[in-house]
Amino acid sequence: MKKILLLLIVMAGFSLSLAAQKVVTGKVTDADLNPLGGVSVLVKGTTVGTLTDAEGKFSLSVPAEARVLSFSFIGMKSSDLEMGNRTNFDVVMSVDVGLLDEVIVIGYGTVKKRDLTGAVTRINAEELQTEASTNVTSMLRGAIPGLSVGFNITPKGISNPRDLLIRGETSLRADDTEQANANAPLVVVDGMIYYGDLADINPVDIETFDILKDASSAAIYGARASNGVILITTKKGRQGKPIINISTSTGMAYISPAHFDLMNGEQFIARRKAGFEANERNQVMIGAGYYNSPDDLPSGVTLDQWKAYDGSSAATDLIGVWLNRIGFAAVEIDNYQKGKETDFSKYTWQTGFTQDYNLSVSGSSREISYYLSLGYANNEGIRYNESFNTIRSRLNLEANITDWLKVGTNTQIAFRDESPIVIGRSFYNTPYSSMYEDDGVTLTFSPSGYVNAPNFWYELLYHDQFIKYNTMNSKIYGTIAFPFGITFTSEFIPRFNWNRNYQSWSTGHPNWAVEGGRAARQNTTIFEWQVNNMLKWNKTFGPHAFDVTLVQNAEKYQYWRDYMYRRRFLPSDVLGYHRMQAGSEDMEISSDDQYSTGDALLARLNYTLRSRYNFTGSFRRDGYSAFGQKNPHAYFWSLAGGWTISEESFFDIPWIDQLKLRFSYGTNGNRGVGIYDALSDLGTGKYVMITGGSPGYTSLLYTNRMANSSLKWERTGAFNIGLDFAILKGRLSGNVEGYYMITKDLLIPRQLPNITGYASVMSNLGQVDNKGMELTLNSVNIANKNFTWSTDLSLAHNRNKIVHLYGDYATDPLTGESKELDDIINQWFIGHAIDQIWDYKTLGIWQQDESAEAAAYSRSPGDYKLEDLNDDGYYTNADKQFQGYRRPVVRLTLRNDFSYKNFELSVKMYSNLGHYRENNYVRNNEAFYDRSTYYNVPYWTPENPGNTWARIDSYETGFNVWQNNSFVRFDNISLSYAVPQKFLNRFKIASCRLSVVSENTFVIAPGWSWMDPEYNDYSPSYLSFKVNITL
Amino acid sequence: MKKKIIVSAIIMIMIFLGIRCSEDFLTPKPLSFYAPENSYIDANGLNSALIACLRNLRREYYGNMSPFVSELIFSDQGCSGTTDKTGVHMDLPAQMLPDESMIRGDNTQLGRYWTENGYNRIQYANVVINRIDNAEWKSDEERNNILGKAYFHRANVYYRMVHQYGDVPLILEEIKEPRLDFYTCTRESILRKCKKDLEFAVQWVNTDSPIGDVNKAACNHLLTKVNLSLGEFDDAVTSASAIINDGIHGLMTTRFGIDKDDPTHDVTWDLHQEANKALAENKERIFLFVCDESLTEDGASDRIIIMRNALPYWGGAGKIKTPSGLPGTTDQPLGNKVGGNPVEIDMVTPYGRGVAFSRPSPWAQFELWDDPNDQRHKFPNWIRMKDLVYNHPGLKAAGDSYYGKPLQLRDAGGGILCTDTIRSWFDWPAYKMYIADPTNRMPQGGNGDWYCYRVAETYLLRAEAYFWKDDLVNAAADLNAVRERAGCAPYTPAQINIGTILDERARELYYEEMRNVELTRVAFILAQTGKTCYNGKTYSLTNFSENNFWYDRIIEKNRFYSENIVAPFYTFRVAPWIVLWPIPADAINANTLGHINQNKGYPGADSNIPPLKWVDGPGEGEIVQQ
């Protein structure tokens, strides 16, 4: 792909001449002089070319003015030969061992891949170009072993690092979101620690991702790096004439196949009846067929008996009586009798139209290199009215002022519009509800007649929302080159984020009318800066190569928020949030300002001996104001070594091309706490009292948080061992990583007995160990003249264990041994994984013949049956058991790339295996049976018993149903076609590629009986068509 | 070259020095919140902590499914009327378990009695008690008024908790560091501490506090309850009399307030009108929660949502039918369309919309009322279902003759016309239960005032104290003061027993008294004194969890529990040990270095150890082994 592109760029501007021709011949071999067949031989800058035969020989007729012959072969380094006057060539190709000279970004610097000591994975964004979507994180999903990316359900995409996880969880939090935040990797864009929204980064601007997984490589970011680091490098101008790239993508988002439809009228009535029969026990006892239709009475029940059940003896509208018994409102009865059914899916879901347009200009000369881009994306989602809108722009500029001074900037500006109100589903819209009045255009107030469920489109009509973000992330830098290989770089990195969140709720909505209109207006500003001063020394003395980096860093974060919320707008609320002074009553006027600071000093040495022994050592001191009372600073260090065995003279295994062993140990920190978590803060509020006859405000204060002035960093020490290899002439390459991470001084919300008045206090306690392994295999399966097939497989396994918690011990009354105490409330157990399930075990469903047994637990047939381990007749903690894990045991990704002539097909799948997830939907009580509809899913009845789906509105409190959540997802299938150069030349187009991409094509989850295994509701699939043109 | 190096070096050094961090660069700067160190330093700051106590107390009564609902469900007077979902408290022995979460949305908020309204409030009060001498005071009076109010709040929580949970941990100081070594303390000694604190409070707390705040009479009222619980009936008479005879408070026996000239109403009505509760002339008010529709910022007022909590679901679609078999009622306001037809008879605006989180027992609606002249049981103070009419606009459209006619439970043939009589069919005291809700299309109870303590209860408490002292003449006099104000004929002294006192409380104090707590208090007094109860039984503390008056009274009066009424999802059941609720397992499990006992009857009680007890001493006294 890359080569083709390069070729096409160079070709641009050439005009083909068919005049003079000459014939060249030759033979291609590998280093051991074995002939190589299938090698592509091409006149550089043209499409004139051929392939070598089985004996490695070729013969080619070339234009007279042709100067350079290019030889390329998968797994081998490409080479160009100046032809001169020669007509016969013997070419020796050498194995390309995983692009060993590729430059990898390692944080405050770069290193050649061959010199790496840590576990760093590089992805070239360009390789993902055909499949790329409009968000960065979709590119990363399934691309790297050990990096898991959350499932994306919105058109905006995953945009917060908390939905990413590198290796395993090291931190413990009581709250799921905080847990994710505390385990979020650090994101660094072009050397800037990036705290912005990932959606502000345009994927087309990205050149590479480098993922730092082990402690040694991440140690350079010390205090925040214990969850790994994602380094994003954006594009720069390339040497040569200006390049203009235009890409467009249009497509659609549609509901993925992994979903349940809503019930139709017939299914709805059957479920209603079953719901009433299962629950309204008095009525069922009154008489057989109470809920039956008058046309379908059980034998032995007369119509008069049936009518008399609820005093309907005098009734004439028997269908009305029946429908009333099964909870139909007047409007539903009316629609039923008219035979009018509505499928509310069409008011809830949509097929979204997605579009993404990008334009970039780049180039480079000796004095200046530039990359300028502008992109616009407007993605609609699958939920009605859902859309995401962004304009993103980037300028990367670098100027060589003199031979010793260089200045530049990397600046990213983005506008985001998240205003559209998303219509959520409402089960109150039954098939017999009316969306519109009889006129067909006026929305009904309550479609189903259930007054607590106003028409869900009233939100669109009467709620006005304006949410916009303007952000700028910038780096401005200067580099001075000194003699002796010393350079000094100073960087200033400002970040701005302006957010406006305005809302108004109009009096047009009957429920809001009584308040005389309501509106709120919130403005948030973030200004943050970082300063980096870097001194570097890079020098080679004979076999010794040194690279020394010294960095000084400081940062400050400031946040301001103002909020006003008023109601009773006078004279009217037609101006909504645009005229807040029209409000006559305050609901809330508030402000919140925050401030934090950090600093760091670090030193790193990279030393390479004879280009086969590599050594890295680093040391870092970090400071953070959240720990500023007693422990403002912490120290972190790392050591790592690499040994390229295959470079040794004694190494003589012909089929192994490269073998390198790496080992590292390092310590890292986690500062993932709130800025003020160490301080006690007082909650405030107001209260009303009457003094002197008139009511007025008085203030209240209460302690929210227990202070802990000795709070400090969480520390992770981690070992990593890695083996890189390339065998069979580069046909198969890959690496294996193993690691062991020990996290201590966990920033943990220590559980307190709630009688203290606090639930918990932030403390540094405990120890969590993580171990795991990762395997990557890249294989070239077939490489023929017109057809190639390559496969990338990765596998990651991680398991953690809580080793210590709070250090409280008690003697076990049975064994007499002293044992550290668990935290039962947060379900953290010493010796068990954070994600291990401790819960009641479900044993299927109570069946009809077990009703007496079920009654002992206050359950009925059709309810879930739990195991009462100690048989005491109660379900208590004593009955909870350790079951499986919530996190996958193995994560697998498999990517196959095929190319045939100008076509390329890539198929990416990923799979999470061996884990469990709650599927409480099988308890069948998500929706009130007497006033709403539901998905068309099975339910237990005495006539249709089963062991998975419970009766309608079954007993639900206090337990979960765990199901095997293993799945395989076909995440991305893309087919692309490179338009032939001959055709493009007519239009002076360097290259043009057309592609069709299917995302989230389908998912297979055999043990899971709900919708998408990674999401609990309707999820989107995408189909898009892309055009990418380079001028 | 040399010059270049020098220039560069200078630039470098300048940059390094320029951003060298100042010493306090890493000092945390809280910008938008207060810290204890700079706030709890004067009368104003410490009083603000007590206002937080008040807010938590008010939230026991206010809000959707307030914790207070549980006080009715666990009593002779009511039960859960929520028939449309699982998780509500109906089958008590099956559901009242230590591991069950008791804070679950519309199901129950009972657990907040332990946390937000319980130990959180104790912590706020302890902050004041601990820091009282760190603050600057103008006078002893100023200091002791604040301290006395803090004692009131702490005693108010513990009085309630020892009757809901029995023996509980007693915490008397502000907890500033992690602690996990708490032990259960005896109920009796906790009450002793409450008494000591309240005796200080009645001496120092202002008589003329702002309306809405704790005052001296409120302290005396609570002290009376504590005195009764301790079996110190003379002291109870004294503390109750301190209110009745203070020259400020008294029963309202004449018409007053906004409707005083409206002959269709009476003094019972006046007493409970929102606009009248805070009036200066209302002598019956001791302690009031104040909320105001125009003062709602920052949680200053709460919506009481009392109609939603405790009125029948009379407007539920299809729940109530006409004898002709058509849907009879709607809870939509005037002009709104139902099934295409506009509502013309608006019942939701004058009565409010209920969903019956709590519903009264048949006894509380019918048998309880023994005097036909009782104002509290007469229209329009008391609303019967037949006072409502068939208002569904579909009836009018269909020309149904029942439109506008009173609701009826049965048709001519005796067939029942309401499909859910638990939730949708019961009577209620509208004079008390209607709180205007102007910001809600279907009123559910807005930002209105509510009595916490009222002189009528003081009379009934003193009547009870006299009763325990066997002074039936004085007991009858106090009880009759309340009865006669409501237009009832007086009882003779011979008629007075704990049953008639509890009956009168039920009539006068519905949705005001904590019925479960008061029944449990009486059950404890019977067990402590060994007196023979009107039901012929005697009780003892030794087998309290198996045999107690609380259980017997519920079985005697509340047919839901005694007849095991079958509701959707559950069958109503109760058991003797539920007199005390289970200690939340969370508290026990997190308290790893101490031991909190579980109440008898619940799993986990077998590992109980003897509780500690409080003994008087310097400062806050001591908690010691028994």
Residue with tokens 């310590």: A667
A698 forms bridges with which residues in the sheet?
A687
Rounded Cα distance, A394 and A190, in Å: 12
pLDDT value, residue A59 = 84
Residue from the list B280, B441, B567 with its beta carbon closest to the beta carbon of A510: B441
Q: Which helix (H) or strand (E) holds B60?
A: helix B43-61
Which token pair is B67? 């914790």
Q: pLDDT band at A801, cuts 50/70/90?
A: very high
Length of chain B: 626
Residues A944-966 have a mean pLDDT of: 92
- Contact residues, chain B, for A696 at CB < 8 Å: 295
Residue with tokens 């002293």, as numbered in its chain? A818
pLDDT band at A17 (very low <50, low <70, confident <90, very high): very low
Q: For the segment A526-545, what is each residue's pLDDT rounded down to a tens digit?
A: 999 999 999 999 888 888 99
Report whether A314 contacts B324 (CB < 8 A).
yes
The ranges of chain B with pLDDT < 50 are: none
Q: Going by C-beta distance under 8 Å and a sequence separation of 6 or more, which residues neighbour residue B7?
A: none
Mutating which of B62, B326, B571 best tests the A interface, going by the most A Cβ atoms within 10 A?
B326
DSSP class of residue A578 equals: G
Quick check: B38 contacting A, CB < 8 Å? no
Q: Please indicate if any CB of chain A lies within 8 Å of the CB of B14.
A: no
Segment holding A558, helix H or strand E: strand A544-569
Tracing tokens 């964004």 back to the chain, one arrives at A125
Cβ contact, residue pair B593, A679, below 8 Å: no
Name residue A661's beta-bridge partners: A643, A723
Which of A480, A473, A467 has its CA nearest to residue A520? A467
What is the signed CA dihedral for B8, B14, B18, B19, rounded to 10 degrees?
A: 40
In the three-class reduction of DSSP (H, G, I as helix; E, B as strand; rest coil), residue A349 is classed as strand
- Beta carbons of A510 and B336 less than 8 Å apart: yes
pLDDT beyond 50 at A15? no
- The closest CB to that of B127, out of A310, A679, A703, belongs to A703
Q: Is the pLDDT of residue A3 over 70?
A: no
Structure confidence at residue A843 (pLDDT): 95
In which residue are the tokens 């898009």 written? A1024
CA gap B319, B317 in Å, rounded: 6
Count CB neighbours of A524 within 10 A: 16
Whole-angstrom Cα Rg for chain B = 28
Helix and strand tally (H, E) in chain A? 14, 48
- The Cα–Cα gap between B301 and A695 comes to 11
Give strand ranges (E) for A102-163. Answer: 103-105, 110-112, 120-124, 147-149
CB contact under 8 A, A314 and B324: yes
Distance CA A432, CA A334 (A): 8
Q: In terms of C-beta density within 10 A (0-12 exposed, 13-18 middle, 19 or more buried), how is residue A451 classed? A: buried
**Cβ within 8 Å, pair B32-A483:** no
Residue B550 CA to residue B575 CA, distance in Å, equals 10
If contacts are CB pairs under 8 Å, which of residues 319-378 in chain B contact chain A?
321, 323-327, 330-332, 336-340
CB contacts of A629 in chain B (<8 Å) are: 28
What pLDDT was estimated at residue A5?
41
CA of A764 to nearest chain B CA: how many angstroms apart?
A: 12
Strands (E) across A805-875 are located at 809-811, 818-820, 836-839, 842-845, 864-866
Contact flag A533-B291 (C-beta cutoff 8 Å): no
Backbone angles phi, psi at B505, to 5 degrees: -60, -45
- Please give, rounded to a whole number of angstroms, the shortest distance from the CA of B480 to a CA of chain A: 32
Among B36, B315, B326, the residue with its CB nearest the CB of A703 is B36
Which of A448, A557, A688, A821 should one mutate to test binding to chain B, selecting the residue with the greatest count of B CBs within 10 A? Answer: A688
Residues A577-609: pLDDT tens digits? 999 999 998 989 999 999 999 999 999 999 999
Q: What does the angle CA A444 – CA A445 – CA A451 come to, to the nearest 5 degrees?
A: 130
Residue A490, CB-side half-sphere exposure with 13 Å CA sphere = 13
Question: For A442, which DSSP code?
Answer: S
CA dist list (Å): B311 to A149, B365, B443, B447 = 50, 13, 11, 17
- Listed by number, the residues of chain B in 73-112 with a beta carbon closer than 8 Å to a beta carbon of chain A are 84-87, 91, 94-95, 97-101, 104, 107
Size of interface A-B (CB pairs under 8 A): 368
What is the number of other CB atoms lying within 10 angstroms of the CB of residue A831?
11
Percent of the residues in chain A that have a pLDDT greater than 90, as a whole number = 50
Decide if pLDDT at A522 tops 60: yes
Percentage of chain A beyond pLDDT 70 is 96
- Helix ranges (DSSP H) in A396-491: 458-462
Specify the pLDDT at position A14. Answer: 37
Q: What is the distance between the alpha carbons of residues B295 and A409, in angstroms, rounded to a whole number?
A: 53
Residue B156: phi and psi, rounded to 5, are -60, -40
A556, A591 contact by CB (below 8 A): no
> Min CA distance, B237 vs chain A (Å)?
30
For residues B351 and B331, what is the distance between their CA atoms, to the nearest angstrom? Answer: 10
Report residue B565: phi and psi, to 5°. Answer: -60, 140
Compute the distance between CA of residue B72 and CA of residue B89 in angstroms, rounded to an integer. Answer: 11
Mutate to test the interface with A, among B419, B598, B612 (most CBs of A within 10 A): B419
Rounded to the nearest 5°, which phi and psi values hold at A995? Answer: -145, 155
Say if the Cβ atoms of B290 and A689 lie within 8 Å: yes
Q: What are the phi and psi torsion angles at B602 (to 5°)?
A: -105, 155
HSE-CB of B575 using CA atoms within 13 angstroms: 16
Mean pLDDT, residues A937-964 taken together: 93
Whether B438 has its CB under 8 Å from any CB of chain A: the answer is yes
- Core vs surface per residue A315-340: b (16+ CB within 10 A) or e: bebbebbbbbbbbbbbbbbbbbeeee
pLDDT one-digit tens code per residue, A33-47: 777 777 778 777 666
- Among residues A927, A864, A939, the alpha carbon closest in space to that of A267 is found at A939
Checking if the pLDDT of A7 tops 60, the result is no
What are the φ/ψ torsions at residue A286 (nearest 5 degrees)?
A: -55, -45
pLDDT of residue B324: 85
Average pLDDT value over all residues in chain A: 87
B362 is written with which tokens?
């048949």
What is the predicted pLDDT for the residue at A132?
63
Cβ under 8 Å to A: B residues 559-588: 566-570, 584-587
Contact B27 A625 (CB under 8 A): yes
Mean pLDDT of A304-315: 83
Using only the alpha carbons of chain A, give its radius of gyration. 33
Q: At CA A144, angle to CA A138 and CA A145, rounded to 5?
A: 130
Judged against a pLDDT cut of 70, whether residue A191 lies above it is answered with yes
Which of A631, A679, A756 should we substitute to test contact with B (largest number of B Cβ atoms within 10 Å)? A756
Which of A11-15, A411-415, A785-789, A854-858 reaches the highest mean pLDDT?
A411-415
How close does chain B come to A974, measured CA to CA in Å? Answer: 47
The SS3 of residue A748 is strand
Q: State whether residue B17 sits within 8 Å of chain A by CB.
A: no
Q: Rounded to the nearest 5°, which phi and psi values hold at A279?
A: -120, -35
Per-residue pLDDT, A10 = 38
Contacts B213 to A, Cβ<8 Å: 689
Query: Which structure tokens are listed for B585?
Result: 């397992």
Distances (CA, A) of B164 to B152, B190, B594: 18, 14, 22
Strand ranges in A195-300 using DSSP code E only, listed in sequence order: 206-212, 229-234, 240-255
Cβ atoms within 10 A of the Cβ of B537, count?
12
Better pLDDT: A823 or A11: A823
B156 to chain A nearest CA, in Å?
16
Residue A2's pLDDT is what?
44
Q: At what angle do helices B515-529 and B549-557 cross, to 10 degrees?
A: 130
Which of A312, A458, A700 is the best mutation test for B, with the most CBs of B within 10 A? A700
Query: pLDDT at position B197, please?
Result: 98
Nearest in space to A201 (alpha carbons), one of A377, A399, A2: A377
Burial classification of residue A299, based on how many CB atoms lie within 10 Å of its CB (0-12 exposed, 13-18 middle, 19 or more buried): exposed
Q: What are the tens digits of pLDDT across the range A272-288?
A: 999 998 888 777 777 78
What confidence score (pLDDT) does residue A45 get?
65
Q: Which residues pair with A605 in a beta bridge?
A: A548, A617
Q: Are B462 and B486 in contact (CB under 8 A)?
A: no
Task: Indicate yes or no: CB of B589 within 8 angstroms of CB of A279.
Answer: no
Q: Do A695 and B292 touch (CB under 8 A)?
A: yes
- List, in sequence order, every residue forming a beta bridge with A89; answer none if it has no partner: A26
Interchain CB distance below 8 Å, B123 and A703: yes
Residue of B113, B69, B64 lying closest to B358 (CA atoms): B69
Using alpha carbons, select from A1003, A905, A893, A911 the residue that is nearest to residue A144: A893
Residues with Cβ within 8 Å of B213's Cβ and at least 6 positions away in sequence, in order, are A689, B54, B149
Q: Which among A679, A931, A954 has CB closest to B28? A: A679
Residues of A in contact with B33 (CB under 8 A): 676, 681-682, 684
Contact between residue B186 and residue B252 where contact means Cβ atoms under 8 Å apart: no
- Beta partners for A188? A193, A231
Q: What is the pLDDT of residues A878-887, one digit of tens each?
A: 899 999 999 9
pLDDT of residue A112: 79
Q: How far apart are CA B477 and CA B483, in angstroms?
A: 10
Cα dist. A104→A114, A209, A212, A397, A605 in Å?
9, 9, 10, 21, 16
Query: Is the pLDDT assigned to residue A459 strictly greater than 70?
Result: yes
Neighbours of B263 (CB within 10 A): 7
Distance (Å) from the C-alpha of residue B296 to the closest C-alpha of chain A? Answer: 7
